[in-house]
Amino acid sequence: MDRIKIVDYDPARPTLFGEQRQRLERALRPWLIGAIEHMGSTSVPGLPAKPIIDMLARVQDYDQCEGIFAALAAVGWVAAPEQGDEAARKWSACYPDVEYRSHHLHIVEQRSSDWPGWLAFRDHLRECPEDRDSYASIKRSLAAADDQDRPAYRAGKAPFITDMLDKLTVDEETPLRNAQKHSRPVPGGRGFWYTKRLWELSRDLPVYRIAIDEIAEFDQDCWFGGVAPSCRAVAEHARRINEADLSYPVILAADGGLMDGGHRIAKAWLAGDTSIAAVRFPTDPPPDWIVPEADRAS
């Protein structure tokens, strides 16, 4: 019986995550969008958890993932649909097997509305010891009440998680879990900026015209993560290009890299423009958060 066992935080967890992340990112390169993330309770320092490393992999479209489980099997992972929740969880895998798993990989489509909330909840608990400890108490209490009923355990945690996510916002209007973000490498890891905060921070910067050909990202894959996009994905970006408001300048980092405005650039180019309004930070603002190298290192 795979009982629900809650153990104290283990400082080796980031290393255990990193070891499998390296193997998985090589195996899943044809399908993967972005880096594999450490998520769930084991990703929060100081938080008691089941001794299973939860990992998140994003793909463009399940319909384009033929062969992904064979690739996982080649590096020792097994498919792991969960009984009673198969529709939502069939795209997952475990290592080294389901019964004695030390790692659990959740594979989600990039367009899913779920994964931003998972990462937002993780990041909040990393920053708020009070809520982290409250969550730990709930988990321990549920496991002590019945360490065999996993659906009841998940349902018991759900109200706390939902309440936290409903409270987390970028500002009074924007839920944090659904907020658009920009990310790039920074010293020590990868930095993330909420797009809406970038707008606020850049509001008073001088606006100038920049040649579209000078914006390197216009000729780079900024949306599909190296994976051939589906018709749905192309249509979604076409919709966003059509809705883009060219009265807003694009936002550039101090090094000239694009932080916000890809759809506006595409719209301007389609209209025949060769330049676009832009603002540029003289010094990059601090990231809203950084995913440390400990969680991303190969």
Distance CA 148, CA 70 (A): 31
Pick from 211, 216, 219: which is nearest to 278 by CA? 211
* Angle (nearest 5°) at CA 181 between 222 and 116: 105
- Sign of the CA dihedral running 28, 29, 32, 35: positive
What class, spelled out in words, does domain 13-171 have in CATH? alpha beta
pLDDT at residue number 73: 96
pLDDT at 181: 78
List the chain domain ranges. 13-171, 184-280
Question: What is the dotted CATH code of the domain comprising 184-280?
Answer: 3.90.1530
pTM: 0.64
Same topology, domains 13-171 and 184-280? Answer is no
Query: Is residue 207 a contact partner of residue 279, using CB atoms and an 8 Å limit?
Result: yes
pLDDT at 296: 47
As to burial, measured by CB atoms within 10 angstroms (0-12 exposed, 13-18 middle, 19+ buried), residue 22 is middle
Tell which residue, 230, 218, 225, has the closest CA to residue 258.
218
Mean pLDDT per block of 10 residues along the chain (298 residues) reads: 84 93 93 90 94 92 91 94 52 90 92 81 88 94 88 90 74 57 81 85 95 95 76 88 94 95 96 97 87 52
Per-residue confidence (pLDDT) for residue 87, from 0 to 100: 47
Q: Are 297 and 17 in contact (CB under 8 A)?
A: no
In the prediction, which pLDDT does 173 show?
52
